[in-house]
Amino acid sequence: KEEDQTYGSILPVEKEANSCNDSCSLVLVESIPSDIIFGGNSTNHRSVYQAWLDLLNTASTNVNVASYYWSMTGEDIHVKDPSSKLGENILKEFEGLSSRNVPLFIATSFPSLAKYSKDLKNLKKKGAHIRTVNCSRLTKGVLHSKFWIVDMKHVYIGSANMDWRSLTQVKELGAMIYNCSCLATDLWKIFNAYWYLGGYNATIPVPWPVTYSTTFNQETPLELTLNGNLARVYFSSSPPVFCPKGRTDDLSAIVSIIDDAEKFVCVSVMDYFPTTRFSRTRKYWPAIDNALRRAVFERSVKVQLLVSCWSHTDPSMFLYLQSLYALNDPKANISLEVVKKIFIIPAVNHTSIPFSRVNHNKYMVTDKVAYIVGTSNWSADYFSRTAGVGLIINETSEDNHGKGQTVQGQLTAVFERDWNSKYAVNIEYSEHHQECTLGA
C-alpha cells in the first residue's frame, strides 16, 4: 500500500496561541484553462502553478499536503498533451525535496481516483511519508480536501486537485496565505486529524483528544492583520464527525454566512443539488436551498448562483435551479439570478483530455464575508460524509479599501468577471443540457 503503516505516535501538535501577532498576507490564485480569454482589462490573478512552484522552491523545514488523489503526469491517463508539462514540473519539485532534507507528509484518499498514477509510489521511494485515509470505510465518503502547509507558516487552500489538468485544463481558484503561523497551525490540526485517521485500522475518536480542538470558529474567529486590514478568520471542516471540539462544521458555516448577508450572496460552485447524490436512496436535503430562499424572501437579498456545466453534468440539477429561479419577481422586490448563468468552457482542441474543461471553483462572497475556496460541491454527501475544508474571512478597513482591496472585494471582482464573461451563458431550461454538452 502507498502508506505508512506505523500506528500510534502522530506528529506533535503545536500550542495554539490566543492571539496572532503575524502580519499575514493573502493573495488569490487561479488556473485559467488553455484558450480561455477574458479580455485585457479583466481581473487577473497569479497562476496556481506559479504559486505552487514558489512554495516548493522556498520550503525549508517541512511540506504537508492534503489531497484527494495524485495524477501529475499525462502518462497517468495515457494522454500526450503539452499542457501536462506544468504538472510534471511540480512533481519533480516534490521529488527534489528529499535532496534538500525537507520532509514531505501527504494525506490522501483511499481508494484512489487515479488508478494508474505512480506519483505516490515514486514520492515514497524519495522518502515522502504518506498515509491514505479510508473515508470509504470511515464515513462512506472520500477525503476531498486540497490544501498545503509549508514551513508551518505558509498555506495554500483551493479547489485544485494534485492533477496536471488542474493547472492547465480546469478552471480553479485558491488562496495563498503567507507568513501566518497562527492560521497554519490551526489548519495543521485538521491535517493532523487526517494523519491520525490514516493510521493502521484507525477509527474516528469519540470524542477527539483535546490536542485536536480549536478556539477559532464561527463564534470566536481568529483576529489578525491580513493584507494590512483587520480580519476575523477561521477554518471550517466536514464531515461533522471529523470536527473536534471548537471546530465549526462546513455546512453550519455556509448557512450562517448566507443568513448573515444583507445585500447580496454570490456563489460559484460546480454542482448544486438540494439532495444526496451518492447514496443508494436519494434523499431531499434543503439546508442550503432553504437558507437562500430565506435570504430572498425575508431580507430581499440579491442571490446570484453561477453553476458549472460540462459533459458530465447531471441534467436533474437544472430542475432544482429552475425551482429557485421561479422565486424571481421584480414586482415583489425579489431578485434571484440563477440558472441564466451557466459557465461553459469550450473544449476547443482539447477533446482528447478526459474530465477537463470545467469551472471547478467553489466559493461564496457576500456583502460581509468571503467563504473562499471551500472544497465541497454543494450536495448533501459532501457535507455529511466527505472530508473537506473551508476558509471564512470577514475583513474590514478604515477607508473601506485598506492597503489594497479586501479579500471580499477581490473575490467579488472574480465573480463579476466570470458572471459577465462570454462563458457564462443564458440558457432556456428546455435546451440547457444539449447546450452544455455541446459547449463542453
Catalytic residue among 45, 146, 171, 362: 146
360 is catalytic: yes
- Rounded to an integer, what distance in angstroms lies between the CA atom of residue 434 and that of residue 167? 28
403 residue type, one letter: K
Catalytic residue among 144, 154, 171, 350: 144
Grid-cell match 477509527, residue found = 203
Residue 34 to residues 23, 52, 60, 301, 308, Cα–Cα distance (Å): 35, 18, 32, 36, 17
Nearest to 215 by CA among 389, 17, 348, 48: 17
229-238 and 147-150 beta bridge pairing: unpaired
CA 136 remoteness from chain centre: 20
For the record, the C-alpha cell of 69 comes out as 488523489
401 is catalytic: no
151 is catalytic: yes
- Rounded to an integer, what distance in angstroms lies between the CA atom of residue 256 and that of residue 258? 5
How would you label 288-319 residue by residue, b for 16+ Cβ within 10 Å and e otherwise? bbebbbebbeeeebbbbbbbbbbeebeeebbe
CA 88 remoteness from chain centre: 22
Catalytic residue among 85, 140, 151, 367: 151
For 9, left (φ over 0), alpha (ψ -120 to 50), or beta? Answer: beta
Can you name the residues that pair with 70 across neighbouring β-strands? 162
CA 409 remoteness from chain centre: 19
367 is catalytic: no
Catalytic residue among 360, 362, 418, 432: 360
Q: Which residues are catalytic?
A: 144, 146, 151, 360
